[in-house]
């Protein structure tokens, strides 16, 4: 194990592992001590194209030599180019650009409130979900369904009504009793909450209810979007369209970026002066988004995510699915969760020691989010490293 990295001048907001990454290539990264790791986390679903992609790096170098930043006093042609690509692939109408998933979700919540105000609802309410995670600003942590995220930051922002995922009766009860609701806001696959998918029939029922009530359907695709499930956006497996869709993470393949894609009902809610961002839509981030989409299509990474994701999930199910202590292996494409029946945070360090980067979320769920360039051989390598770690952990903790 490496010695802990000393960072005394950085605010201690993260529980960090004692390694520092130096560089990467494909699905491999190296730490400052020269040790190599297989990256099954991709910066938490950020590095869509892996590390040092031979098509992305020259494009970003080219943009760095031209223009990094332009404020939004002026037209930014790359914004229109990336917006067009997102609109064409989503079937929606227009896009607002920001810098992160939190900012995208914050903008979505502002849209929901403004949409209500435009209809004469002064205290608009938004339906949110148990186990959801939408960010750590005061508004987005209030929308988040994790009490640990709330601790120390009350009073929370008002105007949220919380329901369980995949329970349409609970949502129908809200519809019958809460006249100020203007939107439903959910992750198609909850990431931080434990890789919990919204069922197809549930999403379809929610879409119909939103249509019937005149609500906005806002689908947070910050983690599960941008090809991670094998389609551009995870909701497309259900054959529906949202009215508002926050994106971030994988959209820029490592460059900070966020976006809110809106359909006709929400496209013109925000007007000049209602919202903005100094860095949002800067040329470097926009070039990263344009090139990410171009490379994904050239290299057929949607099909790869679906194929290798299924291969990886099948292999994990074969090796771990029948073990006592493994509750469920779930997910879609390259967003996979292995839920155990006990807290398993110690596996973070054990995986690092074995040369594998992953995460543990919701205390009991091993989360795998590899880059979309992963091969079946690399998927098999993940299984070969992870399987004995899980088996040993379950064996030694079975009596406790």
> What DSSP assignment string belongs to 316-362?
HHHHHTTSTTEEEEEEETTEEEEEESS--TTHHHHHHHTTEE-EEET
| Domain membership flag for residue 15 | no
Last residue of a domain, which of 245, 268, 298? 298
> What DSSP assignment string belongs to 171-240?
HHHHHHH-TTEEEEEEESEETTTTSEEPPHHHHHHHHHHHHHHT-EEEEE-TTTTTTTTSSSSGGGGGT-
| Domain membership flag for residue 334 | yes
Which CATH number fits the domain that encloses residue 253?
Answer: 3.40.640.10
Q: Are residues 35 and 103 in the same domain?
A: no
- Closest of 203, 123, 207 to residue 157, by C-alpha: 123
C-alpha–C-alpha distance, residues 337 and 299, integer Å: 26
| Domain membership flag for residue 131 | yes
- Strand order across the beta sheet in which 216-220 lies: 94-98, 258-262, 244-247, 216-220, 181-187, 125-129, 160-163
C-alpha–C-alpha distance, residues 83 and 97, integer Å: 9
The residues assigned a catalytic role are 133, 220, 249
Q: What is the pLDDT of residue 1?
A: 46
Q: Are residues 111 and 154 in the same domain?
A: yes
Q: Are residues 110 and 38 in the same domain?
A: no
- Put simply, whether the predicted model's pTM sits higher than 0.95 gets the answer yes
Q: Are residues 135 and 152 in the same domain?
A: yes
Q: What is the pLDDT of residue 257?
A: 98
Q: What is the pLDDT of residue 82?
A: 98
| Domain membership flag for residue 12 | no
| Domain membership flag for residue 281 | yes
Alpha carbon of 103 to those of 52, 88, 137, 276: distances in Å? 27, 23, 9, 10
Q: For the chain, how many structural domains are there in total?
A: 2
How does pLDDT run across 35-69, given as a tens digit for each residue? 999 999 999 999 999 999 999 999 999 999 999 99
Which CATH number fits the domain that encloses residue 304?
Answer: 3.90.1150.10
Counted residue by residue, the chain has a size of 400
| Domain membership flag for residue 62 | no
Last residue of a domain, which of 298, 320, 346? 298
Q: Are residues 291 and 149 in the same domain?
A: yes
Q: Are residues 346 and 372 in the same domain?
A: yes
Q: Are residues 219 and 126 in the same domain?
A: yes
The β-bridge partners of 361 are 365
- Closest of 48, 46, 82 to residue 63, by C-alpha: 82
Q: Are residues 127 and 264 in the same domain?
A: yes
Residues of the chain with pLDDT under 70: 1-5, 399-400
CA torsion 236-238-243-244 (nearest 10°) is: -60
C-alpha–C-alpha distance, residues 68 and 133, integer Å: 31
| Domain membership flag for residue 336 | yes
Last residue of a domain, which of 268, 298, 328? 298
Residue 219's φ and ψ, nearest 5 degrees, are -110, 115
| Domain membership flag for residue 322 | yes
Take residue 324 and report the two structure tokens written for it.
Answer: 């006592």
Query: Which range of residues forms the domain containing residue 374?
Result: 21-52+300-397
**Sequence-separated (6 or more) residues with CB below 8 Å from residue 340:** 325, 326, 327, 364, 365, 366, 390, 393, 394
Q: Are residues 286 and 307 in the same domain?
A: no
Q: Are residues 286 and 212 in the same domain?
A: yes
Q: Are residues 157 and 88 in the same domain?
A: yes
Q: Are residues 84 and 160 in the same domain?
A: yes
Q: What is the pLDDT of residue 4?
A: 55
């Amino acid at each position: 194990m490496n010695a802990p990295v000393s960072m005394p001048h950085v605010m201690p907001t993260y529980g960090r592992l004692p390694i520092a990454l130096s560089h990467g290539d494909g699905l491999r990264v190296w730490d400052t001590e020269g040790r190599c790791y297989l990256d099954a986390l991709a910066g938490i679903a950020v590095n869509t194209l892996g590390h040092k992609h031979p098509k992305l790096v020259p494009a970003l170098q080219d943009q760095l030599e031209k223009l990094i930043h332009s404020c939004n006093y002026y037209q930014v042609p790359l914004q229109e180019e990336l917006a067009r690509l997102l609109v064409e692939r989503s079937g929606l109408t227009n896009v607002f650009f920001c810098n992160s998933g939190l900012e995208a979700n914050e903008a979505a919540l502002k849209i929901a409130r403004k949409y209500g105000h435009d209809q004469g609802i002064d205290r608009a309410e938004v339906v949110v979900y148990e186990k959801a995670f939408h960010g750590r600003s005061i508004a987005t942590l209030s929308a988040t369904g994790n009490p640990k995220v709330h601790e120390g930051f009350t009073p929370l922002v008002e105007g949220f009504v919380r329901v369980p995922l995949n329970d349409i009766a609970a949502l129908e009860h809200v519809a019958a009793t809460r006249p100020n609701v203007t939107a439903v806001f959910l992750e198609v696959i909850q990431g931080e909450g434990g890789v919990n998918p919204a069922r197809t029939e549930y999403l379809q029922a929610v879409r119909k209810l939103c249509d019937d009530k005149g609500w906005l359907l806002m689908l947070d695709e910050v983690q599960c979007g941008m090809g991670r499930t094998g389609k551009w956006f995870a909701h497309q497996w259900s054959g529906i369209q949202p009215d508002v869709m926050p994106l971030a993470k994988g959209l820029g393949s490592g460059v900070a970026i966020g976006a809110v894609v809106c359909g006709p009902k929400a496209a013109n809610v925000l007007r000049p002066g209602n919202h903005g961002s100094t860095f949002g839509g800067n040329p470097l981030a926009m070039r990263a988004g344009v090139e990410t989409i171009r490379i994904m299509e050239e290299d057929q990474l949607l099909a790869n995510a679906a194929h290798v994701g299924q291969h990886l999930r099948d292999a994990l199910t074969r090796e771990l699915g029948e073990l006592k202590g493994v509750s469920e292996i779930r997910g879609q494409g390259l967003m996979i969760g292995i839920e155990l029946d006990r807290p398993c945070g110690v596996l973070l360090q054990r995986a690092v020691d074995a040369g594998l980067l992953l995460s543990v979320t919701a205390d009991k769920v091993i989360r795998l989010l590899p880059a979309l360039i992963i091969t079946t051989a690399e998927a098999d390598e993940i299984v070969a490293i992870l399987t004995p770690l899980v088996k040993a952990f379950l064996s030694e903790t079975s009596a406790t």
